[in-house]
């Protein structure tokens, strides 16, 4: 038989060229056999949907048919025909089968309904399951949506370094980068490690945020965004934290807090709308298998106006809830950082829609946020989402040199590391602001998955860097 070029299963399923010979390749989902007919469900990752291969078992050797087990990789040539069965437009009447890779009964992804915990231990193979296929295709589509949004709106994609000597968030949760011999560290009289002979001649780490360099870009190009890996050595073993995650950080010159909130809301709605439009099959699958309210929740976010309220108003609502008997694990009063349970109470129980909270006490926010006239609060904004809690953190930046230096000194941040950042406030300083969206938190929201470890191919968390 002459060789026919491979057709992707997504294309085969939507093709109406019935009667033509085609070739598909993929991994066997199921193989049901009987004396008169065999059905193979084949998937190649191009779509959540399998194509059905109809096989006349009398035409093929028993040995060959026995090799076609769940997980095996095969190629099939045959006639594309209109499907007799329900739920699919086309199927393939099999004429020829090639087995590329057999798959024994010890295949870890053999059974249906295995726990996500179990699948995490087999993250190298879980990608071949329906759920992870759907999540990864949606992840790809969200990345495209993000670039598309910013490109359409005149933002420039700006690359900030992953290796840095500054702690942008000032939380001290950084992974060090060094070529020093850890078995033989030279120290000075005070016992401090000497870094002058290290690769960069100073102590360096993996970045926790591209924001500080992003501000340099925005105060030159007007509006930029970053989209890259971010690293945090915080020991947070929660379903919302990763040690390595991806962050999107737009930074814009000449905006105020209202503009910033408009941008946050418009951007996130665009991404969710994109998912609804471009990821229909995968969302329908997840809606059926993972969370029956998923699509309704996504449509809700697209159609609703987000609530905008100050931290002080938010605390009032939470204190009233506590007075009425609502129990929280962590105490809450003015000055305290909101825990995820507080954020979710406001979003899921009180307002029942996304909330943009602003004007936080300066003590619980980073040094770069613009101080309000009250001297107590800063122009930070967090976007709080149902199921997720904080999905975006951002702020208007302190553009006044003296006020910024005062914040840096109050927090004992070493000034020698900050000279280049301060230069933006010394030379042509301008009002500006931006935010950071946690990419995996967006994917959590859009897929309805419950654990952030299940929306990135290979999660990095405390005590876990397998694969
Ligand atoms: O609120 P964060 O710490 O803000 C910043 O890093 C600012 N520099 C952003 C800016 O203004 N340019 O982080 C921003 C977002 C959070 O809202 C959250 O969605 C996500 O990043 N995030 C994490 N996602 C997964 N794992 C973690 N450990 C995360 N830490 C933050
Ligand atoms: Mg934050």
Say how far apart CA 455 and CA 439 lie, in whole Å. Answer: 10
Q: Does residue 87 have a pLDDT over 70?
A: no
Q: Is residue 330 part of a domain?
A: no
Q: Mean per-residue pLDDT for 311-330? A: 97
* Interval 381-429: pLDDT, tens: 999 999 999 999 999 999 999 999 999 999 988 888 889 999 999 999 9
Taking phi over 0 as left and psi of -120 to 50 as alpha, with beta for the rest, 242 belongs to beta
Q: Ligand 1 atom 2: the closest Cα is on which residue?
A: 393
Q: Report the CATH number that the domain containing residue 48 is assigned in CATH.
A: 2.40.50.140
* Domain match, 156 and 256 both: yes
Q: Is residue 283 part of a domain?
A: yes
3-state secondary structure of 23: strand
Note whether 365 and 396 are within 8 A (CB). Answer: no
* Residue count of the chain: 467
Q: What is the pLDDT of residue 368?
A: 96
| Reported confidence tier of residue 439, pLDDT bands at 50, 70, 90 | very high
Q: Which ligand is nearest to the CA of 391?
A: 1
Q: Is residue 159 part of a domain?
A: yes
Average pLDDT of every residue of the chain: 95
Q: pTM above 0.75?
A: yes
Q: Ligand 1 atom 30: the closest Cα is on which residue?
A: 241
CA angle centred on 84, ends 79 and 88, rounded to 5°: 85
Q: Is residue 335 part of a domain?
A: no
Q: What is the pLDDT of residue 238?
A: 92
Q: What is the pLDDT of residue 2?
A: 59
Say how far apart CA 80 and CA 89 lie, in whole Å. Answer: 10
DSSP for residue 392: E
Q: Is residue 20 part of a domain?
A: yes
* Domain match, 136 and 194 both: yes
Q: What is the pLDDT of residue 83?
A: 87
Of 167, 247, 257, 337, the residue with max ligand 1 atoms within 8 A of its CB, to mutate for a pocket test, comes to 247
Q: Is the CB of 436 under 6 A from ligand 1?
A: yes
Torsion of CA 216, 222, 228, 231, to 10 degrees: 40
* Interval 26-58: pLDDT, tens: 999 999 998 899 999 999 999 999 999 999 999
Q: Does residue 149 have a pLDDT over 70?
A: yes
Note whether 75 and 100 are within 8 A (CB). Answer: yes
Of 58, 84, 101, the one marking the end of a domain is 101
* Domain match, 88 and 139 both: no
Of 83, 101, 119, the one marking the end of a domain is 101
Q: Is residue 406 part of a domain?
A: yes
Q: Is the CB of 245 under 6 A from ligand 1?
A: yes
Based on the structure, what is the number of domains in the chain?
2
- Atom nearest to 211 CA in ligand 1: 12
* Domain match, 200 and 63 both: no
State what percent of residues in the chain have pLDDT above 70.
99
CA of 328 to the centre of ligand 2 (A): 20
Q: Which ligand is nearest to the CA of 384?
A: 1
Domain encompassing residue 359: 130-306+353-454
* Domain match, 280 and 429 both: yes
* Domain match, 97 and 134 both: no
CA of 390 to the centre of ligand 1 (A): 9
Q: Is the CB of 263 under 6 A from ligand 1?
A: no
Of 26, 25, 23, 24, which Cα lies nearest the Cα of 4? 23
- Atom nearest to 214 CA in ligand 1: 12
Supply the DSSP string of 410-466, one letter for each residue. HTT--GGGTHHHHHHHHSS---EEEEEEEHHHHHHHHH--S-GGGSSSS--BTTB--
- Atom nearest to 392 CA in ligand 1: 17
Say how far apart CA 160 and CA 427 lie, in whole Å. Answer: 21
* Domain match, 145 and 29 both: no
Q: Report the CATH number that the domain containing residue 266 is assigned in CATH.
A: 3.30.930.10
* Domain match, 384 and 289 both: yes
Q: Does residue 1 have a pLDDT over 60?
A: no
Q: Is residue 299 part of a domain?
A: yes
* Domain match, 138 and 95 both: no
CA of 157 to the centre of ligand 2 (A): 22
């Amino acid at each position: 038989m002459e060789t026919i070029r491979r057709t992707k299963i997504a294309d085969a399923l939507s093709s109406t060229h019935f009667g033509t010979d085609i070739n598909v390749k993929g991994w066997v989902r199921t193989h049901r056999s009987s004396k008169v007919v065999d059905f193979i469900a084949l998937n190649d990752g191009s779509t959540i949907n399998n194509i059905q291969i109809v096989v006349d078992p009398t035409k093929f050797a028993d040995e060959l048919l026995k090799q076609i087990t769940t997980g095996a990789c095969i190629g099939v040539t045959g006639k594309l025909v209109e499907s007799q069965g329900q739920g699919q437009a086309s199927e393939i009447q099999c004429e020829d089968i090639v087995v590329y890779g057999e798959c024994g009964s010890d295949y870890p992804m053999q059974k249906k309904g295995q726990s996500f915990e179990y699948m995490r231990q087999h993250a190298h193979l879980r990608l071949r399951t329906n759920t992870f296929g759907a999540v990864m295709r949606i992840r790809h589509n969200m990345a495209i949506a993000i670039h598309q949004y910013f490109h359409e709106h005149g933002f420039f994609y700006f690359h900030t370094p992953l290796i840095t000597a500054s702690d942008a968030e000032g939380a001290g949760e950084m992974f060090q980068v060094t070529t020093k011999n850890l078995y033989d560290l030279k120290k000075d009289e005070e016992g401090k490690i000497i870094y002058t002979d290290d690769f960069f001649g100073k102590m360096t780490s993996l970045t926790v945020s591209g924001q500080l360099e992003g501000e340099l870009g925005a105060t030159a190009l007007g509006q930029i965004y970053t989209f890259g890996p971010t690293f945090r050595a915080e020991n947070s073993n929660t379903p919302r934290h990763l040690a390595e995650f991806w962050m999107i950080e737009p930074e814009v010159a000449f905006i105020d807090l209202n503009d910033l909130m408009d941008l946050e809301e418009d951007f996130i709605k665009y991404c969710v709308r994109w998912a609804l439009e471009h990821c229909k099959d995968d969302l329908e699958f997840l809606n059926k298998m993972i969370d029956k309210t998923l699509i309704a929740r996504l449509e809700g976010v697209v159609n609703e106006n987000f609530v905008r309220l100050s931290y002080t108003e938010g605390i009032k609502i939470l204190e009233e809830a506590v007075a009425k008997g609502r129990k929280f694990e962590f105490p809450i009063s003015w000055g305290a950082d909101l825990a995820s349970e507080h954020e979710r109470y406001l979003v899921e129980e009180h307002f029942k829609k996304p909330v943009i909270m602003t004007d936080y006490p300066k003590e619980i926010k980073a040094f770069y946020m613009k101080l309000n006239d009250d001297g107590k609060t800063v122009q930070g904004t967090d976007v709080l989402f149902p199921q997720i809690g904080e999905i975006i953190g951002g702020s208007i930046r302190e553009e006044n040199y003296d006020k910024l230096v005062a914040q840096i000194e109050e927090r004992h941040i070493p000034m020698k590391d900050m000279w280049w950042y301060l230069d933006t406030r010394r030379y042509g300083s301008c009002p500006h602001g931006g935010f950071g969206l946690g990419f995996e938190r967006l994917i959590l929201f859009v897929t309805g998955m419950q654990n952030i470890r299940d929306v990135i191919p290979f999660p990095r968390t405390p005590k876990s860097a397998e694969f």
